[in-house]
Amino acid sequence: AQSVTQLDSQVPVFEEAPVELRCNYSSSVSVYLFWYVQYPNQGLQLLLKYLSGSTLVESINGFEAEFNKSQTSFHLRKPSVHISDTAEYFCAVSDPYNFNKFYFGSGTKLNVKP
Amino acid sequence: DARVTQTPRHKVTEMGQEVTMRCQPILGHNTVFWYRQTMMQGLELLAYFRNRAPLDDSGMPKDRFSAEMPDATLATLKIQPSEPRDSAVYFCASGAGTGGEQYFGPGTRLTVT
């Protein structure tokens, strides 16, 4: 089974500051990578994904993530956060032998303070 | 606006009772997933289906849990008998095929007393 590690369970940050949420995974073979966001009392929503091609992927609301194969990482960044970005963020990795099956990290709670 | 729907959104029941949760995947999606989310364990995959056939239910306690897809528009997750340790939020997700993203429903919050 894949292992997905999100080292930071909580990240407090002030509004308009930059943020990085870290994600590392264990596979040495090709996988698909995803970031999901969960707002309180809601389901998970896809934020962005890496399937192939450019290692830098972007979302429509200013987040970006970079696939780093050598470091098996897929860190999520935003140069300037808003209060509305307060949510829990989950990194997910597909099973390398069954791309329909995902493994989720334990989540990082981003708390944006005014 | 296509989305996954789940019913009920909240369920409170007593230990020993049967619980049935329902999910309507997005029309045209051929894979359906059931997840359980708890504070202690995070998000766990319980089972998933492709084209209504169960492909993997290794994450599901077999003695009390069962998952089915009676038709392409309905997936069910049943717990019988329920126990307090089953209290969690249960999510259904659907996807369009290999390597695609999964679209999550709003979840069913189950409390077993």
In angstroms, the separation between the Cα of residue A16 and the nearest Cα of chain B is 29
Touching check for B26 and chain A: CB below 8 Å?
Answer: no
Q: Which of A4, A5, A48, A102 to mutate to test the interface with B (most CBs of B within 10 A)?
A: A102
d(CA B42, CA A36): 14
> Which residues on chain B are in Cβ contact (under 8 Å) with A5?
none
The DSSP bridge pattern shows strands A24-25 and A33-38 to be unpaired
- Residue A7 φ/ψ region, left for φ over 0, alpha for ψ in the -120 to 50 degree band, beta for the rest: alpha
**For every one of its 113 residues, what pLDDT tens digit does chain B have, with 9 covering 90 and above?**
689 999 999 999 999 999 999 999 999 999 999 999 998 888 999 999 999 999 888 889 889 999 999 999 999 999 999 999 999 999 999 998 666 789 999 999 999 99
Question: CA-to-CA distance for B11 and B7, rounded, in angstroms?
Answer: 9
Q: Peptide bond before B61: cis, by omega within 30 degrees of 0?
A: no
CB A1 within 8 A of CB A94: no
Q: Which of A42, A98, A102 sits opposite B106 (nearest CB)?
A: A42
Q: Say if the Cβ atoms of B95 and A101 lie within 8 Å.
A: no
Report how far apart the first and last C-alpha atoms of chain A are (Å, whole number): 40
Give the tens place of pLDDT for each residue, A73-105.
Answer: 999 999 999 999 999 999 999 887 877 788 999
Beta pairing, strands B42-50 & A73-78 = unpaired
B96 in A contact zone (CB under 8 Å): no
Q: Write out chain B residues lying below 8 Å of A45, CB-based.
A: 104
Asked if A100's CB is within 8 angstroms of B98's CB, the reply is yes
* ∠ CA B81-B85-B89, rounded to 5°: 95
Contact with chain A for residue B99, Cβ under 8 A: yes
Q: How does pLDDT run along chain A (114 residues), one tens digit per residue?
A: 778 999 999 999 999 999 999 999 987 777 899 999 999 888 999 999 998 888 899 998 899 999 998 999 999 999 999 999 999 999 999 887 877 788 999 999 999 999
Nearest to A100 among B50, B104, B105 (CB): B50
CB under 8 Å to B94, separation ≥6 — which residues? B4, B23, B25, B26, B29, B31, B32, B33, B102, B103
First to last CA, chain B: 36
Cα angle, residue A11 at apex, residues A114 and A96 outer, rounded to 5°: 135
Measured in degrees and rounded to the nearest 5, phi and psi for residue A83 equal -55, -35
Minimum Cα–Cα distance from B5: chain A residue: A43
**Coil, strand or helix: which one is A71?**
coil
